Amino acid sequence: MENDHLVNKQGKARTSLKLRKMMKCFCSGEQLQIDDIVPSPDSLATKDYTASVHSSRDREAAQNLDIGNIEEAESSLRENGALNYEEARALLGRYEYQKGNIEAALHVFEGIDIASVTTKMKVTLAERARTQKRRSQKYDTPPMSIHAVSLLMEAVFLKAKSLQALRRCKEAAQSCTVILDIVESSLPEGFPKNFGADCKLQETLSKAVELLPQLWILADAPKEAIVSYRRALLHQWNLDVQTNAKIQKEFAIFLLYSGNEYNPPSLRFQMSSSFVPRTNIEEAILLLMILLRKVTLQIIEWDPSIFDHLSYALSISGGLRALANQVEELLPRNIDLRERYYILALCYYGEGDNLTALNLLRKLLSSAGDPASVPGLLLASRICAESLEYAGDGINFARRAIESLQGRCGQLMGVANYVLGLSLSAQSRAVVTDSERVRMQSETLQSLESARKLTKMNDSNVIYHLCVENAEQRKLDTALHYARCFIELEGGSTLKGWMLLARVLSARKQFPEAEAIIDAAVDQSGKWDHGELLRTKAKLQIAQGQVKNAIGTYIQLLAVLQVQRKSFGVEENLKKERDYNRTMELETWHDLASIYIKSSQWQDAETCLSKSKAISCYSASRLYISGLLHQSKGLYKAALTDYTNALAVDPSHVPSLISTAVVLRQIGNHSPATIRSYLRGALRLDRMNASAWHNLGLIYKEEGSAMEAAECFQAAWSLEETEPVEPFR
C-alpha cells in the first residue's frame, strides 16, 4: 500500500509539472516543445496505441487507464488556469499529438464540441478584424481571446491530421473544412495581413487551406478536391507566396493527370475582361503560365517541373506556338541556350514552320553550340528529309549522329539509320542521273533494313517506310509483307496502314481484295475517318469498271464532308481539320468531273467544276480539270491556256506538265524539243509516271529515235502494270 501510494504521489508530481509547462505554453501563445516535457510512466505519450502486443484484456485495461489520465489532466488544467472544457482538451490533445500518440490525441479532440463555440469564434474574429481596420482601442470585449480561437483552430487541424494518419480521409477533410468555413464566414473580405501575428492562427489557417484538397484526393472525391483548390486560390487567405505557388502547381498537376473532366470555374469568380478556361487543360495551362510569370518576375524560385508540365499541356492541346513564346521569355539563368534552341525547334517543327526549326538547329549544331547533340542531329535530319532541297544536309546530319552514337545506345542508332534512310530516299527523288538514283535507292533500303534490325521490328515508322520504299521500287511482294507487318504491329488502329495495304494490292491488280480491305477499315473506323477511305474505294471501283458504283461512293463521301464542315464551326484549333476537309471536297468534285469528262457528260462535269470553284478559284488541280474538259471538246488552245494557268499556280503540277506536252503535240506548231522539255520536267518530279514515259516515247518515235522510244515504251508498260490507284507516298 505504501509503495502504491508513493508511485501515485510521484505520478501526480510529474503530471503537475507537465500541466505547468502546458499552461505556460498556452498563456505565452508559443508551441509546446516536446523536448522540455519530462515523460512519465503514467503519461499518454509513453503508451503505444498502434502496437498490439498484449492480450485484449491488457489493451482494454490500458485504454481505461489512459482515459482516466486524460480526465485527470483535463480537471487539473481547468483548475489551474482560466480554461474552459474545449480549451483544456485542445491543449491536452496537442500535447498527445506532438508526443506521437495519434489515437490518444484523436480521442481527446473528439471530445471537443466545436459547434458550441463556433459562434463565439466567428464573433471574436470579426471583432478583431474591425478593430484592426479602425485602429481604435474602443471596441466591445470579444467573447473569447484570440489565443483561445487559435488554440481551438489548431485542435481542429490536428484532429484532421490525426484522422489522415488513421486513413479516415473523408472525415479529415470534413474536419478541415470547418476551419475554412469559420474564417470565410467571419471574414468575408479575406484574412487581413498581420492578423493574429501574435499567435499561430495564420500558420494553422495556411496549413488547413493547403491540406484540404489533398485530403479530398485521398478520399477519392475529385470534385470536392477541385472545389477546395479553387476556394484556396480565389479567396483571400493571406497565404505567403510560396504556399500559394505550391497550391497552384498541385492544382495544375491534378487537372492535367487526374483523368477526368470537371466543370469550369464559376463565372461569379471572373472579372468582365478576364479569360475563363473552358476545360481542365486550359485551366492548368493558365495556372502554369502564372507560375512561370512569377519565376520571371523573381517572385518565386525557378522550378523546372513547372515548365515540364506546361510543355506537356500545350503540346497535347496544340499550343506549340504559345509554348515557343514561353520558352523565349525564360531568363538565361533558368534555361541553357542549347536547350532553348532545341525546344524552340521542336515547337516550330510541330507548328509546320520547318525552315525556322532548321535554322534554330543549325545554331545548336554549330561549333559555338553543341555539334555532337544527337537529339538535335536526328531532328535536323528528319526535317531535311521532308524537303528535296535540303535532303543532302539531312544525310550529313544523320551520318554525324551515327558517328556520335558508335558503341552507345542501339535503339538510338536504329533511329539514326531510320532518318538517314528518309533523307537518302528524298535525295534519290531529286538526283538527275538514273545510276545515281538507283545507288541511293539501294542505300535507302540498306539504312532502313539496318534500322529494322536495330529496333527489332518494334518501330512501326521504320516498317511503314520500308513498305513504301519497296513499293515505289516495285518490289511489291516485299512491300506486301511489310504492309501486313505494319498493320499487325499497330493492331489495325491506324488508317494509313489499311490505305497502304490497299494501294499495294491495287498495284498487284488485286482490286477486289483491295476494296475488301477498305470496306473492313470503314467498318472499324468512325465516320469522321471515312473521307480518305471512301475516295480510295471509289478509285478502286473505277479501276474495275464500276463507274456507277464509284459515283455513288463519291456522293456518299460528299455527304460525310458536308456533315464534318458543319460540325467544325469556327474553332481556331480545328483550322487544320477544316483545311483538310476543304481540300478533300475540292478533289472529290474534280474526281467526279474527270469521270463525267471520260463519259462525255460535259454539262455534269461543268457543274462539278462550278462547285469546286466556290471552294477555291485558284487551284492548280481545278484548272487542270478545266483543261481536260476543253481538250475533250477539241478546244486545244483553251485547254493550253488552262494548263499554263495551272503551272503558274503550281509549277510542279505533274499532270499539267504532261497535258501541256500532249496539247502542244496535238496543235502541232511547236518543236519536239519544247514538248520534250515538259515531259522531262514531269519525270524529274515523278520518275514513276507511266503517262510521261509513254508520251516521251511517242515524241522519240516521231523523231525516228527507235531505241529511245522503245526504252520509254518499255518503262511506261512496266510502270503501268504495277501502278497503284493512288501514289504510295
* Long-range contacts from 33-40, C-beta under 8 angstroms, 24+ separation: 34/98, 34/99, 37/95, 37/99, 38/14, 40/10, 40/11, 40/14, 40/15
pTM equals 0.75
At which residue does the C-alpha cell 513498305 appear?
467
Residue 18, Cβ density class (10 Å: 0-12 exposed, 13-18 middle, ≥19 buried): buried
Sign of the CA dihedral with 417 first, then 420, 421, and 422 last: positive
pLDDT at 57: 36
pLDDT of residue 52: 34
Non-local CB neighbours of 256 within 8 Å, separated by 6+ positions: 280, 281, 284, 309, 312, 313
DSSP one-letter string for 645-699: HHHHH-TT-HHHHHHHHHHHHHH--S-HHHHHHHHHHHHHH-TT-HHHHHHHHHH
Residue 410 dihedral angles phi and psi, to the nearest 5°: -70, -30
Place of cell 470579444: 142
Q: How far is residue 309's CA from residue 242's CA, in Å, rounded to a whole number?
A: 18
Identity at 417, one-letter amino acid code? N
Contact 476, 507 (CB under 8 A): yes
What is d(CA 184, CA 186) in angstroms, rounded to the nearest whole number?
A: 6
Q: Read off the C-alpha cell for 235.
A: 479567396
Cell of 517: 480491305
530, 517, 462: which is closest to 490 by C-alpha?
Answer: 462
Question: In one letter, which amino acid is 543?
Answer: A
**For the chain, what percentages of helix, strand and coil (3-state, to nearest 5) are there?**
75, 0, 25
Distance CA 472, CA 445 (A): 11
215 and 250 Cβ atoms separated by less than 8 Å: no
Look up residue 390 and give its three cell numbers.
535540303
Residue 590, SS3?
helix
- The three-state secondary structure class of 444 is helix
Grid cell at residue 139: 471596441
319: cell is 499550343
- What was the pLDDT predicted at 237? 87
- 135: alpha, beta or left? (left if phi > 0; alpha if psi -120 to 50): left
If one counts every other C-beta atom within 10 angstroms of the C-beta of residue 412, the result is 17
Contact 202, 196 (CB under 8 A): yes
Cα→Cα distances 221→212, 228, 262, Å: 11, 11, 12
User: What average pLDDT values come out for the chain (729 residues) when binned by 10 residues?
Assistant: 45 46 46 37 32 37 44 46 72 88 88 84 82 59 81 90 92 92 84 69 90 93 92 88 94 90 63 69 92 91 92 89 90 88 93 93 90 93 92 94 86 93 91 85 94 90 95 93 93 88 94 93 81 91 93 92 73 67 90 92 92 88 93 92 94 93 88 90 89 93 89 92 90
Copy the grid coordinates of residue 433.
542521273
pLDDT of residue 78: 46
- Contacts of residue 40, defined as CB under 8 A and 6 or more positions apart, other chains included, come to 10, 11, 14, 15, 18, 46
Cell of 64: 481505461
The answer to whether 92 touches 73, Cβ cutoff 8 Å, is yes
* Measured distance CA(226)–CA(249) in Å, rounded: 13
How many Å is the maximal CA-CA distance in the chain?
Answer: 137
- Round to whole Å and give the CA distance between 141 and 729: 85
b/e map 206-218, b = 16+ CB within 10 Å: bbbbbbbbbbbbb
Report the alpha-carbon distance of residue 141 to residue 263 in Å, rounded: 44
Per DSSP, the three-state class of 103 is helix
Distance CA 112, CA 121 (A): 14
Assess contact for 721 and 686: CB atoms under 8 A.
no
Contact of 307 with 339, CB cutoff 8 Å: no
- Cβ contacts of residue 168 below 8 Å, gap of 6+? none
